[in-house]
A and B are shown apart, each in its own frame.
Chain A
Amino acid sequence: MDLAALIIADSRFPGGGHVHSGGIEEAVVRKLVVSERDLPAFLLSRLRTAGALAATFAAAAAHATTREVRSGHWRRLDAEFDARTPSQAQRAASRAQGRGTARAGRVAWPSPALSDLLGECPRPHHPIVLGVLVGVPHDAAMAAAYLAVSGPASAAVRLLGLDPFQVNAVVARLAEPMREVCAHAADVAGHDPATLPAPSSPGLDLFAEAHAAQHEEEVRLFAS
């Protein structure tokens, strides 16, 4: 795996990902996730829905950097990600992380592709800017899929005081489904953006909207 992918997947990467819980704070508030035992199902379902979507678009964006794409391609990819993200709160969270990642990326990995992306989409979605920075479809998919579960896993440790060793083991056991998700994302990376997979996560969308509404009214630890 390329160094860029490792840096971006590292929780110390200054892209602002640490303020997002991937819906687990709302699940904790509702007492649907109370212990380490509830984590595998939450993380697996997140991986196979929101994680698969992020991996797909990260791989597609990385693939686009390796070939000549016409002007307007980044806007199309952005619109296709929007259409697969009905929750306004989820779109806002993705763009917030995209912006932080772009800011760090502009300093670390400036490239014509990054300039083109930010020229067309000044506030890019997180998986798309991640894909452009990594530039290798499968590596980009791995970084995006990993972040889709590592963020909520570490948020769960902070929210519930879970045993970090147990939580780490839960994430490690996702290796096989993560390989499947990323292999598929890399397979379709060069397809027309309109035909890319669109795995939905109605439960997470509902939680994201509820979290955003509650976030306005009461103190929450995470932004989403």
Chain B
Amino acid sequence: MKAHARLTACFDGSRTVLRELRSMAPLSLVPRRDTGPEAVVHLVNSATAPLGGDNLRLTIQVGAGAVLHVVAVAATLVLPGPHGTPSTSLVELDVADGGSLEYLPGPVIVTAGANHTAELRGDIAGHLHARETLVLGRDGERPGRLTTTQHLTRGPVPLLRQTLTVGDPELDASIAHLAGHRVMATALMIGEASRAPASGRWWSRTALAAGGTLATSLAPDVVTAQARLEAATSA
């Protein structure tokens, strides 16, 4: 299945309006009503996406002055397709100077046999707060293959470029990757003053070189990972 969903938020002088809101199965964008000057859109994935063979794309644009929250209502299960066909997802973020986006896509669970490539590309002149949680397999399940890439820039300035490949048992358990944990959660804050580094046993917060803050936690389960991420962002 090929799908391209689009969402454009602009500021009309008094509040954030959704100038474009185009869902395309299996990506549904559901705006919430009565959210005041800020806009809130729920991201609803169909239960069986992405599936091997799917190419999903989501484009989010936020204009100057607009404040948009995009919040997933559930976790995403990355599932295998017939004959191991790979799947891809691309999320493009464009936040103008003076615009603000909170992007909370929910945990991504890489199920056995999946073969998925996920990419997040963002040109962030304004403010971005993104939280991502990666889960290697359902309880007791060996994960399939996932390559996840983040490319975040501010115009020509690179802010963060990272690629992580999971699904190689040797590397998954290694200290360099998830140090034997099943869940990694990250919070990325761009467009606000960088915060001083801080760390605990399984979480850390670090300042990016060109501005921005990245918090990371590792844990055996989602609840613990999110609690540790909370510690990292509030410490």
Contacts and interface: CB of A to CB of B under 8 A. Distances in A.
A202 B218 contact: yes
Contact of B206 (A49, A80, A84, A88): A88
A118 B175 CA distance: 34
Contacts of B177: 45, 49, 201-203
Interface string A154-190: 0000000000000000000000000000000000000
B176 A46 contact: yes
Contacts of B160: 83, 86
Interface residues of A, number: 39
Interface stretch (B51-59, B64-72, B92-100, B196-204): B196-204
A212 to B, nearest CB: 7
Interface string B193-235: 0000111111111111110001010100000000000000000
A41 B178 CA distance: 13
A198 interface: yes
Contacts of B158: 79-80, 82-83, 194
Interface string B153-182: 000011111111100001101111111000
B contact residues, range:
35 or more
A206 interface: yes
In terms of DSSP, what is the predominant structure of the interface of chain A? helix
Nearest to A211: B199
A221 interface: no
B184 interface: yes
Contacts of B159: 83
Contact of A32 (B165, B175, B186): B175
User: Which one of B202, B204, B205, B216 has the greatest number of beta carbons of chain A within 10 Å?
Assistant: B204
A88 B158 CA distance: 16
A206 B176 contact: no
B216 A205 contact: yes
B117 interface: no
B164 A206 contact: no
A198 B173 contact: no
A83 to B, nearest CB: 4
Given A80-B161, A205-B206, 7 more contacts: A41-B174, A82-B209, A83-B209, A86-B160, A198-B161, A198-B162, A203-B176
17 contacts: A32-B179, A45-B174, A50-B176, A79-B158, A82-B209, A83-B160, A88-B197, A88-B207, A200-B164, A203-B176, A204-B175, A204-B176, A206-B199, A206-B202, A206-B216, A209-B206, A213-B198
Give the top 6 A-B pairs by smallest Cβ distance, nearest first: A45-B174, A45-B176, A82-B209, A83-B158, A209-B204, A200-B162
Interface of A: 23, 27, 32-33, 41-42, 44-46, 48-50, 79-80, 82-89, 91, 194, 197-207, 209-210, 212-213
